[in-house]
Every structure is written in C-alpha cells, then in structure tokens.
C-alpha cells in the first residue's frame, strides 16, 4: 500500500530524487540525507540536503 502523502519514500528513483538545497547535488541513496519540513501559508514545505553540513549552511544566516 502506497501512502501518497509520505515524504520519506525509500524507493525513490534517480529521476525523482530531490536535490540538495545548498549544493544542488542529487540525493540518491544517501545515508547522510537530511530533510526538513515546515509549514508555510497553510502548506507543508520541505528542503533536502545531502548531509548535515549542507543543512547547517542553508540554515545559518550569520
Ligand atoms: Zn549538499
């Protein structure tokens, strides 16, 4: 059974793979993959990162 609302699709194909918000690299099968989600204008936004370093770089606005 497929849950269409699931963000954590383990069986993702390369074509559907998200890109890192910081470096733009395709995230395929990465164990360091990070995803954050937040609510904006009544919808759920999400951002993907290839690892924690990229996630923190995107987060930090010095
Ligand atoms: Zn990255």
C-alpha of residue 58 to centroid of ligand 1, in Å: 9
C-alpha of residue 5 to centroid of ligand 1, in Å: 25
Evaluate whether 59 touches 22 at the Cβ level (below 8 Å).
no
The verdict on residue 47 lying in a domain is yes
C-alpha of residue 3 to centroid of ligand 1, in Å: 27
| Number of compact structural domains in the chain | 1
The verdict on residue 8 lying in a domain is no
The verdict on residue 11 lying in a domain is no
The verdict on residue 4 lying in a domain is no
Measure the CA–CA gap between 4 and 12, rounded to whole angstroms. 13
Range of the domain at 52: 18-59
Instruction: Give me the chain's average pLDDT, please.
Output: 82
Say which residue, 12 or 36, is predicted with more confidence.
Answer: 36
The verdict on residue 3 lying in a domain is no
The verdict on residue 5 lying in a domain is no
pLDDT digits (tens, 9 = 90+) for 24-38: 999 988 889 999 999
């Amino acid at each position: 059974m497929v849950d269409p609302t699931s963000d954590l699709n383990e069986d993702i194909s390369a074509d559907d793979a998200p890109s890192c918000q910081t470096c733009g690299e395709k995230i395929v099968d990465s164990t360091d993959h990070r995803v954050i989600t937040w609510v904006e204008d009544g919808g759920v936004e999400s951002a993907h990162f290839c690892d924690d370093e990229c996630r923190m770089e995107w987060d930090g606005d010095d």
